[in-house]
Amino acid sequence: MTTLQSIKGFKDILPGESELWQTIEEQAKTIFSDFGFREIRLPMLEKTELFARSIGEATDIVEKEMYTFQDRGGDLLTMRPEATAGIVRAYLQHKLYAQDPVHKFYTIGPMFRRERPQKGRYRQFSQINAEIFGVASPYADAQLILVLVHLMNRLGVTDAKPHINSLGCPACRPDFRTALQSFLAGVGDQLCSDCLRRRDTNPLRVLDCKVPGCKDATRNAPALADYLCAECQRHFATVGQALDDRNVAYTIDDRLVRGLDYYIRTTFEIQTSALGAQNAIAGGGRYDGLAQALGGPDIPATGFAIGLDRLAEIVGSIQRPAPPQPHLYIAALGENTRPLAFQCVSQLNTRGIRAEMGYEDKSLKSQMKRANKLGAGYVLIIGEQEIKQGAAPLRNMTSKAQIDIPVNGLADRLTAHFENTSG
């Protein structure tokens, strides 16, 4: 019989890798707390309508990537392809704006998109998201970029740089859109089939198409920067200035348009050369109109999403957290020694001391081999003879020094010994 395999594009995070994920998540949580963000945890399933109305009908995600199904009650539901829409939904549903004018949230969890799987691109992937609600100021955008830069520094990711752009606003973007569309009308024969479609539905997306022919065709396309209104120009300049003041290097990238419709003004990505084609570790931007578009008050907002799978790949090439090693291994020889060994190990475990034992009836040699494999600091050898004599040898696996520990009150005596030897 063949064993079952996971679904294409869905991967397992095994021990060894999971410690790396934990390290990243803990570091991110510490930074979020330092910068004043609080955690929000949301459902993975939402009504399909939420994503169609927020991400945009003419985006790749909504057009072809969502895991959507009708549940047994007939409701049309979607596995969340991103977190922002759900966070806005929760923010409006619970009227959080009425409790406080400013909210800073973060959330960590899996997202689902039916993309073509490849290295760095999965159908279930995880994101670390951060959102600031109620602040129109460019300093909120700058703060998010600083959080990202700070996290990369803490994790030792040196080859990561913010790329920033402004997408304009409803006042100035339509003029740019019109200019771009008339430019694209003249180069139709050079565009890929996706871009031919995007030209009508979402022309800005043509600008960041990775197909070489499309890149060539749009080399002389109108630049967004030339169409920004005074307010958008000021906003963008302040973001840049705030980063300059913190000595954060960044690249202004007027091709950075990103795949979701709701962005206005500032957009940004953290890019690296370490990942090949999938070079974005994180992306985000401002989405002031989204709360209102989803039926709420007109509240400005800005946020980002880090691709945790990609970040883990990079951090894993820099550091590998060592697997946790037991402080003590009890080699229990003979069935009658096992109750004492088990009692002792579980007492130590509940005191926060990592201890393991030989569960099965194995020779001393094989148990010592196991202790070595686990990297135990000490091994206590208990045989029936030791119980009779009232003392068992404790071996320091590094120095090979050995002392006898009385078996009476064994867990207390071991705890005291480890405390005295400070480990």
162 sits near ligand AMP (criterion: CB under 6 A): no
141 sits near ligand AMP (criterion: CB under 6 A): no
113 sits near ligand AMP (criterion: CB under 6 A): yes
Q: Which is nearer to ligand AMP, 261 or 386 (CB)?
A: 261
127 sits near ligand AMP (criterion: CB under 6 A): yes
Neighbours of 100 (CB within 10 A): 10
Selected binder of ligand AMP within 11, 29, 114, 121 (CB under 6 A): 121
Closest contact distance (angstroms) between CB of 205 and ligand AMP is: 12
Q: Which is nearer to ligand AMP, 107 or 367 (CB)?
A: 107
280 sits near ligand AMP (criterion: CB under 6 A): yes
Is-contact 61 113, C-beta < 8 A? Answer: yes
282 sits near ligand AMP (criterion: CB under 6 A): yes
Closest contact distance (angstroms) between CB of 7 and ligand AMP is: 14
309 sits near ligand AMP (criterion: CB under 6 A): yes
Which residue of the chain is nearest ligand AMP when measured via CB? 307
Q: Which window, 145-153, 247-255, 302-310, 412-420, contacts ligand AMP (CB under 6 A)? A: 302-310
Instruction: Output DSSP code: residue 63.
Output: I
DSSP line for 165-215: EE---TTTHHHHHHHHHHHHHTTGGGS-HHHHHHHHH-GGGGGG---HHHH
Q: Which window, 91-99, 113-121, 197-205, 384-392, contacts ligand AMP (CB under 6 A)? A: 113-121
80 sits near ligand AMP (criterion: CB under 6 A): no
Closest contact distance (angstroms) between CB of 281 and ligand AMP is: 5
Residues contacting ligand AMP: total by CB under 6 A:
17
Least Cα distance to 65 among 216, 232, 283, 260 occurs for 260
CA–CA distance, 26 with 22 (Å, rounded to integer):
6
CA–CA distance, 227 with 72 (Å, rounded to integer):
49
CA–CA distance, 272 with 310 (Å, rounded to integer):
10
Q: Which window, 13-21, 89-97, 119-127, 335-343, contacts ligand AMP (CB under 6 A)? A: 119-127
Closest contact distance (angstroms) between CB of 251 and ligand AMP is: 16
Length of the chain: 423
CA–CA distance, 410 with 394 (Å, rounded to integer):
11
CA–CA distance, 359 with 338 (Å, rounded to integer):
8
Quick one: tokens of 100?
């406080």
Amino acid type, 303: G
Q: Which window, 24-32, 117-125, 185-193, 344-352, contacts ligand AMP (CB under 6 A)? A: 117-125
Pairing of strands 301-307, 402-406: unpaired
CA–CA distance, 164 with 269 (Å, rounded to integer):
7
Window 191 to 230, contacts with ligand AMP (CB under 6 A): none
Q: CB-based contacts of 318: which residues, under 8 Å, 6+ apart?
A: 155, 156, 157
82 sits near ligand AMP (criterion: CB under 6 A): yes
Closest contact distance (angstroms) between CB of 115 and ligand AMP is: 5
Closest contact distance (angstroms) between CB of 411 and ligand AMP is: 46
Which residues are at the interface with ligand AMP (CB under 6 A)? 82, 113, 115, 120-122, 125, 127, 259, 280-283, 305, 307, 309-310
